[in-house]
Amino acid sequence: MSATTTRTVTNTHAPTTSTVSVSHLGGDRFEIEVRGHRIRVDQPEAMGGEDTAPTPTELFVASLASCSAFYARRYLSRHDLPVEGLRVETSYVMGKSPSRVAGFDVRVHLPAGVPESRHQALLAMIDRCTVHSTLTHEPDVSIALVP
């Protein structure tokens, strides 16, 4: 019989509460469930995992990149600017003591035809991305053990 460990993180500080559930699949593999969607995480083989999925840290960085892309696309669409070719690449540097992502470098590759006169407003919009705002305004985090 395989034991399943579930950790639920609930955001109690927002007007709406959302829940993400994480269940242990075996080894370093976990499955995340959010709003009926399932995503898996693992660790690279060099770290003892099976490398079947991204790491939680990679998903964290991907959250910033995809949120930035989403906000950029919304801005471009709202202003009838081209969106085809929009791409975001984000690199990151790990820190130690404590282990964490110490820095991000987000590069937004704009579609052809976006005038320079729109760049500052677009950057301001991307800065308001929910993930970016969370990183720049330290959230409250509580962790409880549930027997």
Structure tokens at 38: 């399932």
Report d(CA 51, CA 30) in Å as an integer. 12
Q: At residue 2, does pLDDT exceed 50?
A: no
Q: Tokens 């110490």 map to which residue?
A: 102
Three-state SS for 131?
helix
The residue extents of the domains of the chain are 1-53, 55-138
Q: DSSP code of 95?
A: E
User: In the CATH scheme, what is the code of domain 55-138?
Assistant: 3.30.300.20
Q: What tens digit of pLDDT does each residue of 120-141 get? A: 999 999 999 999 999 999 999 9
| Tokens 């593999």, residue located | 29
Q: Tens digit of pLDDT for each residue in 13-61?
A: 556 889 999 999 999 999 999 999 999 999 999 999 999 999 999 999 9
Indicate whether this model's pTM tops 0.75.
yes
How many other C-beta atoms can be found within 10 angstroms of the C-beta atom of residue 65?
21
Percentage of residues of the chain with pLDDT beyond 90: 88
pLDDT (0 to 100) of residue 1: 40
Please state, in angstroms and rounded to a whole number, the distance separating the CA atoms of residues 43 and 52.
8
State the Cα–Cα distance between residues 65 and 70, nearest whole angstrom.
Answer: 9
